[in-house]
Amino acid sequence: MSLDGTSVVVTGAATGIGLGITECLVKSGAKVTVVGRREEPLRVLADRHPFAVAVVAADVCAPGTAERVVAVATETFGRLDAVVNNAGMAQFGPIDTLDPARFDEMFAVNVRAPADLIRCALPQLRANKGSVVNISSVGGVLSMPGRAYYGATKAALNSLTRSLARELAPDVRVNAILPGPVDTPLWTNAGLDDAGIERLRTDLTAATPMGRFGDRTEIGQWVCNLLDPALSGWVTGALIPVDGGRTA
């Protein structure tokens, strides 16, 4: 597999799944514009991969971020071929205890920001017969008591993926990966205490036929597969679970 010379934007690239995606893309020969709120870990990535990584330190929900990201990618690497919408937010809790404002925040990060970035990148993506991969979640297709708000935003992202796949075909392919539980910092930022996180991890492991959490590079490899037209040139509108059998 080779993505030599392909220019890709990855949001939420500093840690977790986004970091795994970026590392896999660079290994495959891609040039990557990494986006995240914290500049320091993005600079570490850029220092590790000189000439292959450009940095945009910004909140994906802030006005003008999508336009800035597209500008940096095209000015740095001369083109933009693909967008990976990985940045996400998760807040867990029963509906009668979770602040509805968290729902608004999750929707902005998990749905509106990906839509904005696709819209702004569309001229480049169309010109280059490009591709979009949205990082969704099995939470968008499974019932998730205690995580209903989060699951609802991921279901919306799945719907966005499938609708845009038809709307933008044949020029732009749009797919989504639905990870199961993956070891990332998301678990410590989900609004649960330590005991709640441990219970959730135990329950998720028990519900996963492969009996373990996934690794971020396992998601990254699937992103590379979907972006490579030689492997996936006839694949669009797909919601692909990479979940250790969680949705089986």
Q: Which domain holds residue 106?
A: 7-241
Token representation of residue 113: 């920001």
Supply φ then ψ for residue 131, to 5 degrees. Answer: -150, 150
**Cα–Cα distances in Å, from 184 out to 90, 95, 102, 219?**
12, 24, 20, 12
Q: Residue 248: inside a domain, yes or no?
A: no
Q: Residue 246: inside a domain, yes or no?
A: no
pLDDT tens column, 222-244: 999 999 999 999 999 999 999 99
The catalytic residue among 150, 219, 223, 225 is 150
Whether 149 is catalytic = no
pLDDT at 93: 87
pLDDT tens column, 23-62: 999 999 999 999 999 999 999 999 999 999 999 999 999 9
Q: Residue 32: inside a domain, yes or no?
A: yes
Q: Residue 25: inside a domain, yes or no?
A: yes
Q: How far apart are CA 149 and CA 94, in angstroms?
A: 9
pLDDT at 71: 98
Q: Residue 35: inside a domain, yes or no?
A: yes
pLDDT at 9: 98
What is the radius of gyration, based on Cα positions, of the chain?
A: 17
Mean pLDDT by 10 residues, the chain (248 residues): 91 95 97 97 95 98 98 98 96 90 96 98 98 97 91 98 98 97 71 77 86 92 97 97 92
Q: Residue 144: inside a domain, yes or no?
A: yes
For the whole model, what pTM was predicted?
0.93
Q: Residue 237: inside a domain, yes or no?
A: yes
Question: In this structure, what CATH number is given to the domain that contains residue 81?
Answer: 3.40.50.720
Question: Could you tell me what percent of the chain has a pLDDT over 90?
Answer: 80
Supply φ then ψ for residue 164, to 5 degrees. Answer: -70, -30
Q: How many domains does the chain have?
A: 1
Q: How far apart are CA 14 and CA 222, in angstroms?
A: 18
Q: Residue 204: inside a domain, yes or no?
A: yes
